[in-house]
């Protein structure tokens, strides 16, 4: 998982670790909870603006970067930047955030904006440290990682247990055919595991 890889990278002494997601929505919000700075990359004119807002990804972003801000897409990138800036003002208008997310444009082709993005990332980290939010976020990440490890280990133990495996196959068939509800089957599997 991304969390485990980030842990290993940090333990290995790396001070900058990039985590990329596939853009499926659910994974982004999970990654937002395990990173120090959650950055949303959006290509201009892709129609993702509204989709991202619907999925709540923009709400958890610390920074939004509109990519491909060059050539024929430069105008579209500026427009996307304006739209996201407006959306962020609306979504984050409650004033409770310790950081006001911003939107930037960048071109990997020309390099324009790359230095500015890095500078803003450094400012973000400095401000979060000064406000005590960096350490609080890290504390939350460690708790999340602990529970994620526990869930993964428990699920592995369940699947490897012979008495559970015997019951699991028939319960899976019953769930797929609608004979039993998923929650009831889960309770039966857990009971089989705990009673062994």
The structure tokens listed for 121 are 């990332």
Mean pLDDT of the chain: 84
What stretch of H or E contains 63?
A: strand 63-66
Q: 95-119, pLDDT tens digit by residue?
A: 555 677 889 999 999 999 999 999 9
Q: 31-90, pLDDT tens digit by residue?
A: 777 889 988 888 887 655 555 454 577 778 889 999 999 999 999 999 999 988 888 877
**C-alpha–C-alpha distance, residues 21 and 196, integer Å:** 39
Each as own residue / partner, the long-range contacts of residues 91-99 (CB below 8 Å, 24 or more positions apart, any chain) are 91/53, 91/58, 91/59, 92/59, 98/127, 98/128, 98/131, 98/133, 99/62, 99/124, 99/127, 99/128, 99/133
């Amino acid at each position: 998982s991304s969390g485990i890889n980030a842990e290993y990278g940090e333990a290995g002494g790396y001070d900058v670790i990039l985590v990329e997601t596939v853009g499926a929505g659910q994974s982004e919000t999970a990654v937002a909870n395990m990173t120090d700075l959650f950055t949303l990359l959006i290509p201009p004119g892709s129609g993702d603006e509204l989709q991202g807002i619907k999925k709540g990804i923009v709400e958890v972003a610390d920074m939004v970067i509109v990519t491909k801000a060059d050539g024929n897409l430069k105008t579209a990138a500026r427009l996307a930047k304006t739209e996201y800036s407006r959306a962020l003002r609306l979504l984050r208008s409650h004033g409770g955030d310790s950081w006001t997310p911003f939107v930037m444009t960048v071109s990997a082709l020309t390099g324009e904006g790359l230095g500015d993005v890095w500078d803003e990332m450094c400012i973000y980290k400095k401000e979060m440290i000064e406000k005590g939010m960096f350490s609080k976020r890290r504390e939350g990440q460690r708790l999340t990682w602990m529970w994620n490890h526990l869930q993964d280990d428990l699920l592995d133990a369940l699947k490897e247990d012979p008495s559970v495996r015997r019951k699991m196959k028939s319960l899976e068939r019953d769930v797929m055919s609608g004979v039993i509800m998923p929650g009831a089957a889960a309770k039966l599997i857990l009971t089989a595991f705990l009673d062994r």
